[in-house]
Amino acid sequence: MFKNVTIYRLPPGWAPALPELEAALQAAAFQACGATQDKSVGWIAPRGQAHGALVESVAGQRILQLQIETKSVPGSVLRDKAQQAADEIEARSGRKPGKKELKALREDALLALLPQAFARQMQVWVWIDPENGWLVTDASSQGKADEVISALVRACDGLSLDLLQTQLSPQSAMAQWLLASSANEWPSGFVVERECELKSSDEEKSTVKFTRHPLLTDEVRQHISEGKLPTRLALSWEGRIGLLLSESLQLKKITFLDGVFDDRPMDSESGFDTDVALATGELRQLIPALLQALGGPLSLGAAAPIESAKPGPTVTPQTAPRVAAHTTPDDDGPPF
């Protein structure tokens, strides 16, 4: 059960056999941070089993999970320890350390304190749909999604991924839906719910947020006509999934509504398979419906035509960005 969705295109024909993909991920399996290491990223078993498979195949869908572990030292503690070392140098030599020396002292202080720091872990789900050519991450931000994609292209030699874009920008589409005079003008299957954020494009970035508030109102239309465009909008689809659509085509706060997960098995083994099958099955219907509501996917390498919300301002989508393949490593309760 994904809480967030960011969609990438797989390269045409990219469908490695399970053993091949498993071997690639095993080479990049998660290892806990060392004593003086502040971050570690690697793949873990999606079922949560020790020494389990790193790729699970359920109903033709492939499920992976990336784990990110970080250790941090409070800034005040780090400054105090570095200052203590600087004071000792001044007392011993009668001179104050220079900038380069102070930087070295801070680095030494960090290395000394990291073994005592608590580690924090987070997991991000990855879903590969070979039939539709999608790769979907559950990352809560674009930065985390970029980290997941970077880890995957490092593990899979020659892989490149493109962030999926649509002919009509989500911002233009959301503005048009909010300018509608009735619900009959909304895209088929979708209902505009009671939450949105509108933001101006000027230097002030004036922002208006509506929460638990009717949106088919003159007040909302007035804000749009004055130049404020939606950056996120709550929607529901077919009474089965609730979500928050963002201007960058990220789906957030995904909720599977009453009835979707009824009568699921309670044991962890079959429950995992059932949850994966149900969640991906619902999303495989939602995503094409949403893409259709946004004019269809943008062809690779093409710039989308200018789309505007009448009578609001013009929004110009950008050419779909690409995450290039590379092989150089960096230095640095589940949703189902």
Q: Contact at 8 Å (CB) between 195 and 210? A: yes
Please identify, among 164, 193, 227, the residue that sits at the C-terminal boundary of a domain: 164
Q: Distance between CA 25 and CA 81 in Å, rounded?
A: 39
Q: Is residue 144 part of a domain?
A: yes
102 shares a domain with 12? no
Same domain, 146 and 209: no
Residue 16 in any domain: the answer is yes
- Say if residue 122 is in the same domain as residue 110: no
pLDDT at 332: 40
Same domain, yes or no, for 153 and 178?
no
What pLDDT does residue 331 have?
39
Number of separate domains in the chain: 3
Q: Transcribe 24-93 into DSSP letters.
A: HHHTTB-----TT--EEEEEE-TT--TT--S-EEETTEEEEEEEEEEE---HHHHHHHHHHHHHHHHHHH
Same-domain pairing of 288 and 247: yes
Spans of the chain, pLDDT less than 50? 305-306, 308-336
Q: What are phi and psi of 160, to 5 degrees?
A: -135, 145
The vertex-261 CA angle with 260 and 265, nearest 5°, equals 150
Question: Do 31 and 151 sit in the same domain of this protein?
Answer: yes
The answer on 301 and 252 residing in a single domain is: yes
Residue 228: domain span = 170-315
Under 8 Å between Cβ of 278 and 260 = yes
Give buried/exposed letters for 7-33 (b at 16+ CB in 10 A, else e).
Answer: bbbbeeebebeeeebbebbeebebeeb
Q: 257 lies in a domain? A: yes
The verdict on residue 330 lying in a domain is: no
Distance CA(107)–CA(194), nearest Å, equals: 49
Is 326 within the bounds of a domain? no
Residue 243 covered by a domain: yes
Identify whether 333 is part of a domain.
no
Distance separating alpha carbons of residues 67 and 41, to the nearest angstrom? 6
Same domain, 158 and 50: yes
Quick: pLDDT tens for 145-174.
999 999 999 999 889 999 999 999 999 999
Residues pairing with 76 in the sheet? none
Supply angle C-alpha 124, 27, 140, rounded to 5: 10
Examine the fold and report which residue of 164, 197, 231 is the final residue of a domain before the chain moves on.
Answer: 164
The verdict on 62 and 152 lying in the same domain is yes
**Please, are residues 172 and 307 in contact by the beta-carbon 8 Å criterion?**
yes
The pTM of the full predicted model, rounded to 2 decimals, is 0.78
Same domain, 44 and 182: no
Which residues, including other chains, have CB under 8 Å from residue 255's CB and lie 6 or more apart?
Answer: 241, 242, 243
Q: Is 83 exposed, middle or buried (0-12, 13-18, 19+ CB in 10 A)?
A: middle
